[in-house]
Amino acid sequence: MTEFSFEFLGLWLLIALLGGYVNALLYPLLSRGISPLQPAFRCAVRLAYAGSAPIAALLSLILITQPSVSNFFVPSHCHGNQCVAHAPMVSTDSALLIGMVTIGSLAAIFALLVLLWALRRAHRRLCVLLHITRDATHGYRVIESNNAFACCVGLLRPQVLVSSALLETLNEQELEIVLNHERAHVARFDNLRALILRWLTLLWPTSQRQRIANESRADAEQACDLTAARASKKPARVAAVIEKLSKLTAAKPAYGSNGLTGVGFHHGDNSERLAVLEQVGAGGTMGYIPLLKISASLALLWCAQIMLLSTFAHKLVEWLAQI
């Protein structure tokens, strides 16, 4: 009987993949269930849901190595004359176990290195982008472009970029609405959230990975619209700016989307954004569900995942050790 060490990173990856795949299959149910929530709550729930499998997998591997607590998660089964819960029996001469652990560990390390390389490359591109912009006196940076757009760039220290064409297109009140929207992205760290979500769902089936990314992005846009509406106290005015910019021919910024750039103010499903603002303007509610209920539901999900993944991990390790 041995304790898990760094080499069991491969087993964690395998178990996390299983949990993530189950989450992907169940995601349509979650998406429908949280539809009555406020956009900001929906965005947070999606991120927590995507991260539940990796965290549950890590806790499962830790728990099954502790016989004093594993009896709460691992069903008792017989070994000789004893029938108790225990840490898995690991054989050091199991070629299959060693091979799987090695491959999984190398894959996890490779993914981490790719992430670090991507962050470094994106940071260098961001530095170049900020170098060619000029700082404005109202807390945003201006980039010369014939396209009318505004976006939030950066991860840990996000900043708002506004094109010169947008400044020429909007009046002072309209520009303030756009800036309030983008500042909400900054305060929410939406770029960082999007990057974390992308990596948490990296190995989900393509259709579900794209769906949760698109829906999370739509939630973020709607949440920022509501922030801008509260700041201006006129949701109709925010809706008018959205409609005005949607009629302009504006391409996405040339520097692309790499986790550091946000979606421009005029991008997204405008019909959904306008419907949310119209509902707020009419005095309607967004079907608010107390945060306590959301937290309780996620806690139950995590407990169920930990129990199931602990049982699976325990039996998997012992089965592999016998081959």
Render pLDDT for 111-166 as a digit per residue (tens, 0 to 9).
Answer: 778 878 877 887 787 777 777 777 776 788 888 888 888 888 888 888 898 888 88
Higher model confidence: residue 226 or residue 58?
226
d(CA 8, CA 105): 7
Most confident segment among 24-38, 118-132, 266-280: 24-38
* Segment 184-205 mean pLDDT: 91
d(CA 150, CA 182): 7
Residue 262 confidence (pLDDT) above 50: no
Residue 3 confidence (pLDDT) above 50: no
Dump pLDDT digits (tens) for 200-250: 998 899 999 999 999 999 999 999 999 999 888 888 888 888 888 887 754
d(CA 110, CA 293): 38
List residues bridging with 153 in a β-sheet. 159, 261
